[in-house]
Amino acid sequence: MPSEQPADLSPAAIDRMVAEALAAFAAASSGAELKAARAAHAGERSPLSLANRAIGTLPGPERKDAGQRLGAARAAINTALSAREAEIGAAELQQRLIDERIDVTLPVELGPEGARHPITALIDLMSDVFLDMGWEVAEGPEAEGEWLNFDALNFTPEHPARFTSDTLFVAPLENHVVLRTHTSPVQARSMLTRELPIYVVCPGKVYRADEFDATHVPVFHQLEGLVVDKGITLAHLKGTLDHLASSMFGDGIETRMRPHYFPFTEPSAEVDLKCFVCHGASVGNPDAPCRTCKSQGWIEWGGCGVVNPRVLTACGIDTDVYSGFAFGMGIERTLMFRNNAADMRDMVEGDVRFSRSLKGMAR
């Protein structure tokens, strides 16, 4: 046992301990200094603690007195310590608030920000028009079986669309896999896999062996629609297309259906939009020609029709009970008309300034 100095437990000695502790606390000007003062004057090795330990060595009556004095001393020291802790804490907080003050009015420099591609945004907008009516979004692969891309849709084996000059085949040719030339194979997929009735839209990429210029890109996007239900007529198709058109271009938009031929619909039509630029005023008016509609008064938007019963039959659907309609239009074309984006190439280049320039698209 290391011998310790017998502690001085006299009233004067204890008063001195208290006075020294209080002076040290008052002199401390930071949390760290106060911590040191606390260790020195109230810690395990402090005179106070040593004195406390020595009490046991005193004879009975003295022990009681000394105990009371020490108790009072410890209370005084602890009170002073807490008060000083509170003071220093408040002062330090005050100083931190000053030091860490932020000027929220200073201009900030943000890093470059990306934007959603307008085609992606438009696909969502168009799909939402149908989701709001309770339709579903269907998907299919971009590398598609030739049978689904053509045969199931009633294209004859010698149909020119199958030529390698129009369609990109995935090598080797005998695998009969093409990069889908339209989103219509998703019609066949939906009929083969879904329960009736069917109400689906299918947005997606399609591929054609086209040159890349201001009005053509070899990869573009279409939105396909398909309904198969009981009692479906051409009137349902017309109403649906009008609803999509007014959702995309505003309430005043006019559409028309112009007879056409598609192997998978019968009757078939192309759907046109009234020219946004001349509103038809250029027709038969050589003095005011319109470049947008080539003075036709209408611009082609997509194809549509009543689903050919041969297609329903190929997909195992009873044509005595069910009928349907389908449509498909270019999403790039829709963007061109809707947002006055004249050059297809802007849509492929991925320049964020193009995305930002189209109001309401780069959400």
Residues that bind ligand DAH (CB under 6 A): 182, 184, 224, 262, 265, 268, 302-305, 326-328
Query: By C-beta, is 55 or 161 nearer to ligand DAH?
Result: 161
Least CB distance to ligand DAH at residue 299 (A): 15
The CA-atom distances, in angstroms, between 95 and each of 83, 98, 104, 159, 255 are 19, 5, 19, 83, 70
Query: By C-beta, is 255 or 357 nearer to ligand DAH?
Result: 255
Least CB distance to ligand DAH at residue 148 (A): 13
Query: By C-beta, is 204 or 297 nearer to ligand DAH?
Result: 204
Least CB distance to ligand DAH at residue 232 (A): 13
Query: By C-beta, is 268 or 282 nearer to ligand DAH?
Result: 268
8 A C-beta contact, residue 257 and residue 300: no
Query: How many other CB atoms sit within 10 Å of the CB of residue 67?
Result: 15
Query: By C-beta, is 140 or 328 nearer to ligand DAH?
Result: 328
Q: Which residue is nearest to ligand DAH (CB)?
A: 303
8 A C-beta contact, residue 178 and residue 168: yes
DSSP code string of 299-335: EEEEEEEEEPHHHHHHTT--TTT-EEEEEEEEHHHHH
How far apart, in whole angstroms, are the C-alpha atoms of residue 53 and residue 64?
14
Q: Are strands 198-207 and 136-137 parallel, antiparallel or unpaired?
A: parallel
Least CB distance to ligand DAH at residue 154 (A): 11
Least CB distance to ligand DAH at residue 146 (A): 15
| For the chain, counts of helices (H) and of strands (E) | 12, 10
